[in-house]
Structure 1
Amino acid sequence: MIQARCLFRHAIGALAIVGLPVPAHAELAEPVRAMIEAAIATGNKDKVAAVVEVAKKTNPDDVGEIDALNNAFLDHQKRLAEEKKARDLEAVRTAGIFQRWKGKGEFGAFRSTGNGDDTGLTGSLSLKRAGIDWDQKITARAEYQRSNGKTSRERFFASYEPNYKISKQVFAYGLLQYERDRIQGYSGRYAVSGGIGYQIIDQPNVHLSIKAGPAYRLTDYRDGTEEARLAALFGADFDWSITKRLKFTQGANAVAESGSSVVAVIDSSNTSVSLVSGLEAKVSNRLSTRFSYTIDYNSNPPVGSVNTDTLSRFTLVYGF
């Protein structure tokens, strides 16, 4: 091809010397054009960029035509992206209330015999729905264990949290939360909260957000008594995709109940903290294994109960 180009230039020079008209610059060589068009057909920007770079270096006289092919491809890709974005927004806008939910289910169990007779079950369900202005999250979790014929752990948790996007980083949240832990001394604990949240980090592999606001909590104890208090809530969520198949998660939820006075939030009568750390390893696109460590703390538990519970779990997680 290089020899052909040299002969072409010599021919043009000869025509100019004898005074004959010089033809316009020849079109891009067909093998080069075919190579670029084959890369364009893949729709892969990286492949097209690599082929275009090589074509420019080996065909410096045809840079303009090569750029024209590349720019046409980039314009087409831009239009496709804009059309897809418009379709996605319309799909979100017109979706029904039970559509566009994504989530994962988690299940684990154990059984031991011998010196001790222990049986345990744990399961959870997390659902998320991302909208244009609103995001919604539903969480449910159950843990049950019997040791030597007696129930040693019985905890149920459920929450619903809608978030309204004020800006790219700031959001307003609402929270309805239910807990039951008969071992800790209460048959039901209900919390309602609302406040402001902030996304500190929102990257493809790292996400960190915090939220805080006032709360109202009602607790039904096993002895038949009941307490209703104002509270302050703080929450934090951290996700870190260490690799494509390994992910670390950290969730924290702290509620500090006030005394009888609304303004005396600092003089809390009971502070509860739920801290959950997890490490997930992908087995397939939908199936993962998860190791988690949970700390449940109550600063002022009922008489006969300790203030801190911990639980280590190894479970299977299915995403959908």
Structure 2
Amino acid sequence: MAGTSKWRRIILAAILAGFATSAPAHAELPEPVRAMIDAAIATGDEAKVRVVADLARATNPADIDEINAIVAVFEAKMVAKHEAEAKAKEEQIRTAGLFENWSGKGELGGFRATGNTNNTGLTASLTLDRQGIDWRHRFTGRVDYQRNSGVTTREQYLARYEPNVNVSDNFYVYALAQYERDQFQGFDARYAISGGMGYQALKSDAVQLSLKAGPAYRVTEFTDGRSESRIAGLVGIDFDWNLTERLKLTQDTNAVAETGGSAIAIIDSRNTSIDIITGLDAAIARKLKARFSYAVEYDSNPAPGAVQTDTLSRVTLIYDF
């Protein structure tokens, strides 16, 4: 009996050995595949890592779990890195001084005017922007100037400052102070202040749309010495549409997002002013672009001798800094 048990054990061991030989063994991830994934991870490019990992899974289906584990470690490190960078950026913004964290753009080119003047000349503008955690500050200045045979035939100045603060993801509160001077339209100075609510209706990489409205107060000093002060209302619309990576159409409220176009209306019982600028921006280099814009400036009750509507066609170069 003892001999029979011995032979049974030998036969059982042989059978088990045969199963072990015929069963497919799990192979480790091939070294060239691992090296390819490690090289993608070394770049820190998340999109590249995803592409390489997908190729590795497709060509090595038996090693999907190991590939997923490698990618999961990388993704966890990237999440931690992004969180640390966001925290550092927020802290830098909170502790920045008054003259820090400003960005802007300068614009220089020519214009063609019709209406109270019919001429061509030079146009220049400067926009400064400071983005905080909840607050944003924007300053815009613009000059259109032309002289002919020693005589000034167009001289228009605009300065505008607007702070706004977010109260939710889509709503914000704005304030606005604006100064204008255009003797050819019949006023030496025109001041306006306003405050109200704004709403971000659309916000995506391709299209942005925001609306705002509020009461306003305006003082106009005419060239004939008269002065008028009136309560008014302000309405504005901002619209940006990225047609392609290098081409953008703008039709925006100039007090909220001066990105090449503006449309703002100040309405009172005596005189309604509407400023509309439609622009088309074409990228030339990373910080340089060309702008083609058409502006309409309308006053329903202009000074004596002035017409209601002026238009300006501008061709300019813009440098971002």
> Is TM > 0.5 for Structure 1 vs Structure 2?
yes
- Cα distance change of structure 1 residues 86 and 159 upon mapping to structure 2, 3 Å threshold: same
Shift of 1:188: 0.4
Residue pairs, 1:64-213, within 5 angstroms: 64-109=65-110, 120-147=121-148, 149-213=150-214
Q: Is the 8 A contact 1:137 1:162 kept in 2?
A: yes
Q: CA-to-partner distance for each residue in 1:226-263, whole Å, 9 max, x for gaps? A: 10000000111212221121111111110011xxxxxx
Residue pairs, 1:239-254, within 5 angstroms: 239-250=240-251, 251-254=262-265
- Counterpart for residue 271 of structure 2: 270
Q: Is the 8 A contact 1:119 1:147 kept in 2?
A: no
Q: Secondary structure at the match of 1:66?
A: helix
Q: Is the 8 A contact 1:232 1:255 kept in 2?
A: yes
Q: Which amino acid counterpart does residue 75 of structure 2 have in structure 1?
A: L
% of aligned pairs identical? 52
Please say which of residues 238-247 and 78-87 is displaced more in the overlay.
Answer: 238-247
Counterparts of 1:220 and 1:19 in 2: how far apart (Å)?
Answer: 99
Shift of 1:15: 6.5
Counterparts of 1:121 and 1:99 in 2: how far apart (Å)?
Answer: 31
Instruction: Give the paired residue count.
Output: 292
Unmatched 5+ residue regions in structure 1? Answer: 1-12, 112-116, 258-267
Q: Which amino acid counterpart does residue 171 of structure 2 have in structure 1?
A: V
- Counterpart for residue 254 of structure 2: none
Q: Which amino acid counterpart does residue 154 of structure 2 have in structure 1?
A: R
What's the C-alpha RMSD, in Å, of the aligned pairs?
A: 2.3
- Cα distance change of structure 1 residues 24 and 93 upon mapping to structure 2, 3 Å threshold: farther
Please say which of residues 54-63 and 167-176 is displaced more in the overlay.
Answer: 54-63
- Counterpart for residue 306 of structure 1: 307
Counterparts of 1:281 and 1:18 in 2: how far apart (Å)?
Answer: 70
Q: Is the 8 A contact 1:165 1:172 kept in 2?
A: yes
Q: Is the 8 A contact 2:178 2:192 kept in 1?
A: yes
Q: CA-to-partner distance for each residue in 1:69-124, whole Å, 9 max, x for gaps? A: 0111111111111111111111111111111111111111479xxxxx96622111
TM-score normalised by structure 1 residue count: 0.86
Q: Which amino acid counterpart does residue 49 of structure 1 have in structure 2?
A: R
- Cα distance change of structure 1 residues 14 and 85 upon mapping to structure 2, 3 Å threshold: farther
Q: CA-to-partner distance for each residue in 1:134-157, whole Å, 9 max, x for gaps? A: 011101001112345543321100
Q: Is 1:255 aligned with 2:266?
A: yes
Counterparts of 1:193 and 1:133 in 2: how far apart (Å)?
Answer: 20
Q: Which amino acid counterpart does residue 178 of structure 2 have in structure 1?
A: Q
Counterparts of 2:43 and 2:81 in 1: how far apart (Å)?
Answer: 14
Q: Is the 8 A contact 2:111 2:313 kept in 1?
A: no
TM-score normalised by structure 2 residue count: 0.85
Q: Is 1:45 aligned with 2:46?
A: yes
Q: Is the 8 A contact 1:28 1:62 kept in 2?
A: yes
Q: Secondary structure at the match of 2:73?
A: helix
Unmatched 5+ residue regions in structure 2? Answer: 1-13, 113-117, 252-261
Counterparts of 2:26 and 2:313 in 1: how far apart (Å)?
Answer: 74
Query: Larger relative contact order (C-alpha < 8 A, sep ≥ 6)?
Result: 2
Shift of 1:14: 8.3
